[in-house]
Amino acid sequence: MDFITLLLAAAIASGTPLLIATLGGILSERAGIIQLGTEGIMLMGAVSACLVYIRSGSLWAALAAVVLVSAALGLVHAFMTVTLRANHIVSGLAMTLFGAGLSAYLGKPVAGQPLPGAFPRLELAFLDGVPFLGPIFGRLDWFTWISFALALGLHLLIHRTSWGLHLRAMGDNPATADVMGIPVQAARYAYVVGGAVLIGLAGANMLLVYSPTWNEGMTAGRGWIAVALIIFARWNPLRALLCAYFFGALDSIGFRIQLEGSLIPSYFLKMIPYVVTILVLMYLGWRGRGKPSGSPESLGLPYIREQRL
Amino acid sequence: MSTHPAVEMRKIVKRFGSVTANDQVDFTAERGEIHALLGENGAGKSTMMCMLSGVYRATEGEIRIQGRPVRIRSPKEAAELGIGMVFQNFRLVQTLTAAENMVLGEKGGFWRGAGWMKRKTKEIAELAERFGLGFPVDRPIWQLSVGEQQRVEIVKTLYRGADIIILDEPTSVLTPGEAEQLFATLRQMRAEGKTILITTHKMKEVMSVADRISVMRKGRMIASLAREETDERQLAQLMVGKEVVLQRKEREPAGMEPLLALRGLKALGHGGRKALDGLDLEVRKGEIVGIAGVAGNGQKELAEVLNGLHPWSGGEIEFDGAVWKRASALEAIESGIAHIPENRMKSGLAGSLAIADNLLSKSYRGPERSRLGLLRGGANRRWAQSLVEQFDVRTPSLDTPVRMLSGGNQQKLLFAREISMRPKLMVAVHPTQGLDVGAADSVHRMLMELRASGSGVLLISEDLDEILQLSDRVLVVFGGRIIGEMAHDEADRQRIGLLMTGSAGAEEAAAGRAGAEEALRQPDQPDPDGKEAIV
């Protein structure tokens, strides 16, 4: 396999958790609720997948546990931000700190233990021997295929359905959405919870597919990269796909350089995605001076029906 | 066909906490009429209409639609009853297209593919056409002008099948030409049997478009009259409760000592476009200089430069004997410049802060208001209380958040703060925009008092009547330059109007400038103090 093919395969592998987490964040933020709890929810997703998989041996039970745990966390965030109108940033940071602490505690007994089995793959025999496509898509796991479908599905949902229209409206101007008869508060709950479930699954993806043992803090800041990716992707699921693989590639480039026996300390190589995050954000901010960022207008603002503005 | 009125509201009471916005109000509108609800800001007109459209719920009282008693608990229920409202602040999603805004909340079907959208877009365009309301249906809202956005709002109510259409202060955002066009549309809608309710405080509009007029004052219904049986004078009297004089007042001659001189001022506006392009201007002590012009010709930037909020890129600013070196809001305030900004809630007042805090927000550094960096609590409260009384700001308490006040009271509060700084120059931008007759009148009085006390006033306004009534000199701005200048009593509406559009051409502009210079050399007003000698 040549370098490019290897790099692409690696980009997809390490980009998939980023993609799923970014999609979850997009859902929440399109509805107007900032989601900074990503890192914590990913960790909780990963640790609950690990615990249940090791204890029960059932992959389905593990995934069900992830959905339940992350939905519960999403529900708390929605309750804080939608109903109690707490500051979205504070609530999100609390979620991250809470998730990091609790997952470390819960994960102690299973830290470093191997999982009972690998995630099932979709074998596409007809791609064998096809250059480029074969090595990349021939033996991909189901999780990754589902993430492709998710990106496309969410894109269609947002841009081609009545629900998507409602979603875009309530993130931009909830008062208008309310006047047009859209149940803003209930829908915001649904999107925050749905988004949190995706974020939890992103954590599970890291554990079940990418690096199959639990370590404390194993997401290593990927939740924060996903938060930045929402902005790079300008709240668009298909663009999120490209951005996530771009960052996935950066992640694995550092690893490749290290394997080549470079003199650069590995700590610097591991920094690459984060440095690029800062640089890209600076570049986008500079280029977009005075232009709309594509961010939902009412992102982070609570909505109260009878308040005079 | 039933003979019931389209809308009947009986003994409506609405309270917000301890504030009563509507007190036992009765209101009836017949089917197929244009009914105007007239009143000052804060009279409770909009509150009444919001209850009809389901935004607010009445505390007490009964509403009947087409004779049927109803409870309107949400905008959705109002829409089901055939009631649609066009709000003063449009309820449009800026990033969606006009057509998408209309189908928002439409029932039936989940898929909104390209084909579906295309059919709907065509349907909406046809509906708009029928009422003579043209606008680009498939462009996002943020690309449309304010007038177009209002048309989108009106078509939206029609599209959703409204028979009763409420417009809240529909002309406040429109140019006179656009307003005429709107009235033609409203008549067309009436011809199709729609009932139209508009709230307004502009009497001219009421007389030109309404069939029936209901006047509200301080939360109560004062009278309901047919247009034929009333006139502007009576309506004004009903509205404010006392007779208002709408005439130009006798005045002392303006001062002659120079206060502010701008020479060839240049500044870049939003997005790097030339906003001020060599602007020359002079304001003297005790003089009101009116700047007339269509919005977007540099007025905003001019006001911001003078208040130290915007850097300039060329030319010279001389104020009170000193040449400015850089833009600094603090230095502008300390050198004695007051500012009434275009949008009082955006850059004038802090909406969620209390009245007392807003009054302090420019003067808190002074030794009278603070000591060693700590505010003087008691003294400041007494000071704020005296300002509130002096400027007649109507408020439940000093601790009320400013956003809870009506527009007129907010503006009075802003004036109280600015005038308490004893400014040498007042830069007032659209100072009476959105105010009712009573509040506008007190704003005008305050500006005249400033002039009498020897301050200069730079009045930037789109309201020609206001400029003609108050100004000693009228300047016309176009493309970031002054292209015409007239003295108080030779100012002429037609000529100003022509200059404002810029269509008068270069020779006209040159003539305007020459004429103005002549007028300056030979002041028409007698100058009893013999100040000419000084000049």
* A45: in domain: yes
Using an 8 Å CB-CB cutoff, list residues of chain B that contact chain A: 16, 55-56, 74-76, 79, 91-96, 100-101, 103-106, 109-113, 142, 270-271, 351, 403-404
Q: Length of chain B, please?
A: 535
Asked if the structure places residue A255 within a domain, the reply is no
Task: With respect to residue A188, please indicate whether it lies within any of the assigned structural domains.
Answer: yes
Residues B438 and B350: beta-carbon distance below 8 Å: no
- CB-hemisphere CA count at 13 Å for B114? 0
pLDDT of residue A92: 96
- Residue B231: which pLDDT band, with cuts at 50, 70 and 90? confident
The pLDDT of residue A309: 38
pLDDT of A196 over the 80 cut = yes
Domain annotation covers residue A233: yes
Q: pLDDT band at A1, cuts 50/70/90?
A: low
The whole-chain average pLDDT of chain B stands at: 84
Instruction: Output the furthest CA–CA distance in chain B (Å, rounded).
Output: 81
Q: Is 80 exceeded by the pLDDT of residue A304?
A: no
Q: Do B103 and A181 touch (CB under 8 A)?
A: no
The confidence score (pLDDT) of residue B512 equals 45
A-B contacts (CB, under 8 Å): 74
pLDDT in tens, B240-299: 776 444 455 567 777 788 899 999 999 987 666 788 999 999 999 999 999 988 777 888
Residue A204 lies in a domain: yes
User: What digits encode the pLDDT tens for the residues A44-94?
Assistant: 999 999 999 999 999 999 999 999 999 999 999 999 999 999 999 999 999
B93/A166 CB distance under 8 A: no
Q: What's the angle, vertex CA B327, arms to CA B322 and CA B332, rounded to 5?
A: 60
* Residue B526 banded pLDDT, cuts 50, 70, 90: very low
- Whether B100 sits inside 8 A of A165 (CB atoms) is yes
Query: Which of B92, B104, B106, B166 should we substitute to test contact with A (largest number of A Cβ atoms within 10 Å)?
Result: B104
Beta bridge partners of B97: B140
CB contact (8 A) between residue A181 and residue B75: yes
pLDDT of residue A291: 63
- pLDDT at position A78 is 97
The alpha carbon of residue B508 is apart from the nearest alpha carbon of chain A, in Å, by: 37
Asked if residues B260 and B458 have their Cβ atoms less than 8 Å apart, the reply is yes
Contact state of B103 with A176 under an 8 Å Cβ cutoff: no
- The beta-carbon neighbor of A169 closest among B55, B104, B110 is B104
Amino acid at position B381, single letter: R
Average pLDDT over residues A199-215: 94
- Spatial separation of the C-alpha atoms in residues B61 and A156, rounded to whole Å: 47
How many domains does chain A contain in total?
1
Contact call for B112 and A292, based on CB within 8 A:
no
Cβ-Cβ contacts under 8 Å, A177 against chain B: 93, 104-105
Q: Which domain holds residue A164?
A: 15-238
Residue B143 confidence class, pLDDT cut points 50, 70, 90: confident
* Mutation site, A85, A159, A165, A168, interface B, largest B CB count within 10 A: A165
Confidence of residue B504 (pLDDT cuts 50, 70, 90): low
Q: Is there a domain that residue A298 lies in? A: no
- Phi (first) and psi of residue B284, to 5 degrees: -105, 165
Q: What is the pLDDT of residues A98-116, one digit of tens each?
A: 999 999 999 999 988 989 8
Which of B93, B118, B409 best tests the A interface by mutation, with the highest count of A CBs <10 A? B93
Each residue of A231-242: pLDDT tens digit?
889 899 999 999
Measured between beta carbons, which residues in chain A are less than 8 angstroms from residue B112? 160-162, 164-165
The pLDDT of residue B502 is 66
A179 touches chain B (CB under 8 A): yes
* 3 state SS of B459: strand
Model pLDDT, residue A239: 93
Taking only the tens place, the pLDDT of each residue in B57-74 is: 899 999 999 999 999 988
Residue B202's pLDDT band, with cuts at 50, 70 and 90, is: confident
* Disruptive mutation site among A85, A166, A180 for chain B (greatest number of B CBs within 10 Å): A180
Mean pLDDT of B171-176: 73
DSSP string, A151-188: HHHHHHHHHHBHHHHHHHHHHH-HHHHHHTT--HHHHH
B295 exposure class (CB count in 10 Å sphere: 0-12, 13-18, 19+): exposed
- B293-350 pLDDT, tens digit per residue, is 877 788 888 999 999 988 999 999 999 989 998 889 999 999 999 999 888 888 889 9
Give me the phi and psi of B340, to 5 degrees please.
Answer: -110, 105
pLDDT tens-digit profile of A146-157?
999 999 999 999
| Terminal C-alpha separation, chain A | 61
The pTM of this model reads: 0.73
Residue length of chain A:
309
Judged by average pLDDT, the poorest of A252-266, B345-359, B481-495 is A252-266
Residue type, position B439, single letter: A
- Predicted confidence band of residue B48 (pLDDT cuts 50, 70, 90): very high
- The Cα–Cα gap between B476 and B497 comes to 9
Report whether A116 contacts A58 (CB < 8 A): no
Structure tokens at A117: 């089995």
C-beta neighbour count of A234 within 10 angstroms: 16
Question: What's the mean pLDDT in A161-182?
Answer: 89
Chain segment B384-414, per-residue pLDDT in tens: 999 999 888 888 888 889 988 888 889 899 9
Residues of B with Cβ-Cβ distance to A187 under 8 angstroms: none
Query: What are B223's strand-pairing partners?
Result: B215
> Is A62 contained in some domain?
yes
Tokens matching residue B430 = 């659209």
Q: Which of A273, A225, A179, A234 is nearest to B160 (CA)?
A: A179
Higher pLDDT, A170 or B462: A170
| Nearest-Cα residue of chain A relative to residue B95 | A172
CA distance A198 to B321: 66
Which residues, at least 6 apart from B129, have a Cβ–Cβ distance to it below 8 Å?
Answer: none
**ipTM of the modeled complex:** 0.78
Average confidence (pLDDT) over A159-180:
90
Nearest to A188 by CA among A201, A160, A169: A169
Distance, in Å, from the CA atom of A137 to the CA atom of B83, rounded to the nearest integer, reads 56
Q: Does residue A295 sit at the B interface (CB-CB below 8 Å)?
A: no
Interval B22-51 mean pLDDT: 89
Cα-based distances in Å from A78 to A219, B49, B166: 23, 33, 35
| Calpha distance B206→B200 (Å, rounded) | 8
Residue B532 has pLDDT above 50, yes or no: no
Does residue B523 register a pLDDT over 70?
Answer: no
**pLDDT-based confidence at B43, cuts 50/70/90?**
confident
Does residue A31 sit within a domain?
A: yes
Which residues on neighbouring strands pair with residue B289, listed in sequence order?
A: B458, B473
Q: What is the pLDDT of residue A96?
A: 96
The pairing of beta strand B314-319 with beta strand B258-268? antiparallel
- pLDDT of B507 strictly over 70: no
Q: Do B96 and A163 touch (CB under 8 A)?
A: no
Q: What pLDDT digit, counting tens, does each position of A243-297 carry?
A: 999 999 988 887 777 777 777 787 888 788 888 888 888 887 788 766 666 788 8
Average pLDDT over residues B433-453: 85
Predicted pLDDT of residue B292: 87
Note the pLDDT of residue B107: 75
Q: Is the pLDDT of residue B95 over 70?
A: yes
Query: Using a CB-CB distance cutoff of 8 angstroms, which residues of chain B are in contact with residue A297?
Result: 94-95
CA-wise closest residue to A78 among A197, A192, A198: A192
Alpha carbon distances (Å) from B191 to A273, B31, B65, B162, B182: 66, 11, 20, 15, 14
- Tell me which chain B residue has its CA closest to the CA of residue A176: B91
pLDDT of residue B530: 38
In the structure, what pLDDT confidence band is assigned to residue B140 with cuts at 50, 70 and 90?
Answer: confident
Residue B517: the pLDDT is 43
